[in-house]
Amino acid sequence: MVARVVDLRSDTVTKPSDAMRAAMAAADVDDDVLGADPTAQSFEAEMAATMGKEAALFVPSGTMSNLIAVLVHCDVRGSEVILGDNSHIHVYENGGISTVGGVHPKTVRNNPDGTMDVDEIVAAIRSKDGALLYPTTRLICLENTHANCGGKCLTVDYTDKVGEIAKGHGLQLHIDGARIFNASVALGVPVDRLVKAADSVSVCLSKGLGAPVGSILVGSKAFIDKAKILRKTLGGGMRQVGVLCAAAYVAVRDTVGKLADDHRKAKVLAEGLKKIKQFTVDSSSVETNMVFFDIMDSRITPDKLCQVLEKRNVLTMPASSKSVRFVLHYQISDSDIQYALTCVEKAVEEILTGGGKLEHLANGTTKNYYGH
């Protein structure tokens, strides 16, 4: 009998559904590097239309997608990009825009809701009079939803305002939309309207949507033509990629309609955690599929809690030295939520009564890899 496992580490941990596997097996494929894979072409065209852009490109990962976007927009070494100090691109993508692209990050403080103050964005834009001394600002990056800020959604009004600033200063706007469909569903705004102001958007297919692999990068035809060259340069050109695009197509078709339920279950989980007196949880701040909670009892560390939970087959990861993050996805049921809450209560009791000796576990729960 297979033991029950409730995996809340990330929405990247979903397994391909039977429909995805069937679609992969039946996919009509050819060599995508030669521009001949019909399933990839069809999927890219559909995603471009869905996002309201001219063209799209399937890439292996969100990190590569963001990197390509920055390099296309900042095609002169020494360019500068304005982005949040707590953004995924800045914190969790190995400094690729600098190490690979020679692009300088100009960070602006992220507010708790994932935004950056508009006035601070404007102040960060370099004056052309200082071109002899300073990097040249060419790009602004937003993240929606904003992972490090608890899965918060950037509104269409805010995004439009930043787009106006970019346009007014001759800059480009890129959105790291790893979970943009979560934001669209939570806000009740069509996804194409939500990203209308953006020159490019990266959409992760293997997070909330549950595809096994890949992201899609959208923008103008000229932008995607350049992106395709950079994808090959970075080693992201793949051959019969239609096998992966077929699964991604099913993910978009079948999972977008389930995201609202993920958000509902996240609220249920937050309300349950709120009842545990050793934790503090702002359930009103839960907007999408992420739940963060702070541990107020010094006898309980995030590492220790995650380890004790793993022994009960509830998997999660620390968010910081004082907090833990749970992420919901469509393969987590309501009964899984109740089971997880029961296990959390028992884990707290075990730790406080002297159990739960900290050890290093094989799945890495004693490491802070929470940027996934």
Q: Which of 201, 221, 255 is the last residue of a domain?
A: 255
**Do the beta carbons of residue 159 and residue 167 sit within 8 Å?**
no
CATH number where 322 lies: 3.90.1150.10
Percent of the chain scored above 90 by pLDDT?
A: 92
Same domain, 196 and 269: no
The predicted pLDDT at position 361 comes to 47
Are 74 and 163 within one domain?
yes
**Domain stop point among 225, 255, 285:** 255
In a domain, 49, yes or no: yes
CA–CA separation, 352 vs 342, rounded Å? 16
Give the residue-averaged pLDDT of 124-134: 92
Domain contains 359:
no
Which spans in 137-274 are helix H? Answer: 156-168, 180-187, 191-194, 221-233, 242-255, 259-274
122/232 same-domain check: yes
136 sits in which H/E element: strand 136-143
Owning domain of residue 271: 6-11+258-352
Mean of per-residue pLDDT scores for the chain = 95
**Digit-coded pLDDT (tens) for 70-108:** 999 999 999 999 999 999 999 999 999 999 999 999 999
Does residue 242 share a domain with residue 293?
Answer: no
Whether residue 243 is found in the same domain as residue 306: no
Answer yes or no: is 50 within a domain: yes
Summarize the confidence of residues 307-334 as an average pLDDT: 97
In a domain, 362, yes or no: no
- pLDDT band of residue 357 (cuts 50, 70, 90) is low
CATH code (residue 243): 3.40.640.10
Instruction: Choose one of 237, 255, 273: the last residue of a domain.
Output: 255
Residue 200: inside a domain: yes
Total-model pTM: 0.94
Crossing angle between the packed helical segments 302-311 and 334-352, to the nearest 10 degrees: 120
More confident residue, 282 or 52: 52
Q: pLDDT tens across 170-221, in order?
A: 999 999 999 999 999 999 999 999 999 999 999 999 999 999 999 999 999 9
On whether residue 80 sits in a domain, the answer given is yes
Q: Specify if 1 maps to a domain.
A: no
66 and 40 in a single domain? The answer is: yes
**Residue 32 class from Cβ within 10 Å (0-12 exposed, 13-18 middle, 19+ buried)?**
buried
Residues 238 and 321 in one domain: no
Looking at the predicted structure, is the pLDDT value of residue 2 above 90? no
Q: Which residues contact 300 (CB under 8 A, 6 or more apart)?
A: 278, 348, 351, 352
Residues 93 and 229 in one domain: yes
Split into its structural domains, the chain has a count of 2
The alpha carbon of 204 is separated from its chain's Cα centroid by a whole number of angstroms, namely 7
Q: State whether 279 and 298 are in the same domain.
A: yes
Residues 271 and 157 in one domain: no
Longest dimension (CA), the chain: 70
Per-residue model confidence as pLDDT tens digits over 13-46: 999 999 999 999 999 999 999 999 999 999 999 9
Predicted confidence band of residue 359 (pLDDT cuts 50, 70, 90): low
